[in-house]
Structure 1
Amino acid sequence: MGIDELSQTLGRLEAGQDQVAQQCRSLFVKYDEGTAQLHSLAATVEGLGESLVELRKAVGQLAQETGELRRLRDRGMGVLSGMTLLGGGAGVGAAKLLGLFQ
């Protein structure tokens, strides 16, 4: 093998080595970007988990308040029914009194 052939072979090896080094750097950059995206995704999922816990608490409180409102409504309906009966009874009594004075 002559010196010229050796020189060409070394040139090709250097070019190949540079290409492999560039591909390795590119892979590391992609790996780092992928790792950064995974960290970002993990943080997002963690935030969603915290939001779900808060939402679950809010739904529980809403259920309690709804139950309280229903109890108040039922009590109010009972009071209104009682007042209606009293009003009807008072109306009948007033009509009888008016009938006595006529």
Structure 2
Amino acid sequence: MDVKTQKQLLEYLGPEYEPKVIDGEPCLYRRLNELYEIEISRSESLFHTYGVYIWHLLREGRCPVEMVDMKSDIFSRSTLKKHLDAMVSQYQNRV
């Protein structure tokens, strides 16, 4: 995800998200609680689709251990936001 897209998406999604480089790729990140975090990436392929990944963390905030949910091939910011809202509702209160 390029810096311009990252800034625009941050403005659209709100202050809960922050820019972060994950595996060498600029992404957006949100910590949901001690056990789950969200990673948002954007494909640089022809269609520039978004992907959302929910990671389960090892022991209260340490390294991501397992991807527990994923949505890919998201074409618009509005669809991305709908998926994020649903995923946040599903995982935010799990501990």
Q: Which has the higher strand share?
A: 2
TM above 0.5? no
TM-score by length of 2: 0.19
The structure whose RCO (Cα within 8 Å, separation 6+) is larger is 2
Q: Which has the higher helix share?
A: 1
